[in-house]
Amino acid sequence: MEHYLELSDCKLTFDGCCQAEAGVWFAANEFNALCCVDEDGKTHYMGSIPDEDIFGRYLYADIQYFHGKLYLTPLGAEHIAVYCIETGEFQTIPLNKPSSFAPNPYVAWLKFIKSVIVGESLYMLPRSYPAIIEMDLITHQLTYHTQWLSYIQGKTVNRDALFWSDCVVKSNRLILPSAIANMVFSFDIITKNFSLIYSGNQPTCYSSISEIQDGILLSERNSGRLKLLDLLQNRLMPYGKMPEGFKTEQLIGFLDFLQMGDSIFAIPLWANMLLRIIPTDGEILLIKNYDEDRGESKDIAVRRAWVYNRKLYCMNNFTGEIDVFQQNGVFEKSFAVTVSENFARNMGKNIVHNKMQMFAESNIFPLKGYLSYILKKVQSF
């Protein structure tokens, strides 16, 4: 019998993934599903997060692994999710109702953008939620850090829903470049205090960040231009020369800076190029020009990127496939994340037994297919 879920041609995408216990784990963007890719490249349905719409899209922004459990940071979801790999059980933790922060709006489907684990704490960086949330990974207690809001009050450059975009861990501190103000902060994870380590007068803010030499490498949020922050002299300087033809289509140039070997790879969001930065000589090399895939689209270039076994994986938002690059930046291959044979069947069992689920027709869940499935089930009795 054909299944009522139309997943045969579905290319799964995700905004966060992690390697854990012989698999790559992610929360699918297309619907509410925690997935695991095994060593053979097969993607398996592991469950749907409770208390969230089964057909909800873009629910989670990031995923981290700690001591046998996965921690999912909300994007559009209403809860933080915790999944125990051994038992297959979920725990959901609701967020406090956010207070307003004018003039930057809170957007319920753009809560957080990234998370990082330091010691036994998970820190969730907000996109529009007005707090950095710290979760104790032993007790699951949440602490809402809001001190930084007073620093940026009245100093914001962009009045949109993006407080932060990235951070780096330096000793016992999180270094946080503001995505809405010309400021770089330090958060001491021991004392829990914020301090301002750089503030500029120009209407500039930042997205990606990486530790480099004796300073901090930053990218300007809108233009994508690279800057070096000298922490000793508190001075911001231009860094390197961009390849000819480099441009940024819209709001944010780079999604991330990823270190691999002696290089830093600048992952494009609305920028048109994937770049390889070589800190030893300041050279910036073009790896891939996404204009070739973009066509007339104004959408983002790369949805997510990560380094694994000395290779760079970039989820190409135009093709729906993952591009793989070697450590020296040479392109190796592309592949799509497709579902295993039992994916639809296992997900379907979850849907049928969820009596509270509201159903909405989509290309993944066609009403005709569901009605046909129900009629055949009735006729089989």
**Cross-strand bridge partners of residue 12:** none
Distances (CA, A) of 101 to 97, 162, 167, 186, 195: 13, 12, 22, 21, 20
SS3 of residue 46 by DSSP: strand
Residue with tokens 């005709």: 368
Dihedral class, residue 356 (left if φ above 0, else alpha if ψ from -120 to 50, else beta): alpha
pLDDT of amino acid 1: 36
Dihedral of alpha carbons 94, 174, 116, 215, sign: positive
Q: Which of 218, 192, 214 is nearest to 205 (CA)?
A: 218
What residues contact 10, with CB distance under 8 A and at least 6 apart? Answer: 30, 338, 339, 364
Q: Determine the residue type at 147.
A: Q
**pLDDT 10s digits, 1-33:** 356 677 766 778 899 999 998 889 999 998 899
pLDDT of 36 above 90: yes
Q: How confident is the model at residue 296 (pLDDT cuts 50, 70, 90)?
A: confident
Q: How confident is the model at residue 100 (pLDDT cuts 50, 70, 90)?
A: confident
pLDDT of amino acid 307: 92
Contact 305, 318 (CB under 8 A): no
* Alpha carbons 277 and 280: distance in angstroms, whole number: 9
Contact 177, 218 (CB under 8 A): yes
Task: Give yes or no for a cis peptide into 203 (omega within 30° of 0).
Answer: no
Q: Which two tokens stand for residue 184?
A: 């770089």
**pLDDT 10s digits, 337-370:** 878 888 878 887 777 666 566 666 666 667 776 6
pLDDT of amino acid 41: 75
pLDDT of amino acid 373: 66
The 8 Å CB, 24+ separation contacts for 98-104 are 98/129, 98/130, 98/131, 99/130, 100/130, 101/130, 101/149, 103/156, 103/159, 104/128, 104/156, 104/159, 104/160, 104/161, 104/163, 104/180
Average pLDDT over residues 316-341: 91
SS3 of residue 312 by DSSP: strand
Q: List, edge to edge, every strand of the sheet that includes 23-27.
A: 17-20, 23-27, 34-37, 43-47
Contact 67, 60 (CB under 8 A): no
How many Cβ atoms from other residues are within 10 Å of residue 5's Cβ?
Answer: 21
Q: How many CA atoms lie within 13 A of 174 on its CB side?
A: 28
**pLDDT 10s digits, 193-245:** 999 999 998 889 999 999 987 789 999 998 999 999 998 888 899 999 999 99
Domains and CATH numbers, the chain: 248-340 (2.40.10.480)
What residues contact 12, with CB distance under 8 A and at least 6 apart? Answer: 26, 28, 29, 30, 35, 43, 337, 338, 339
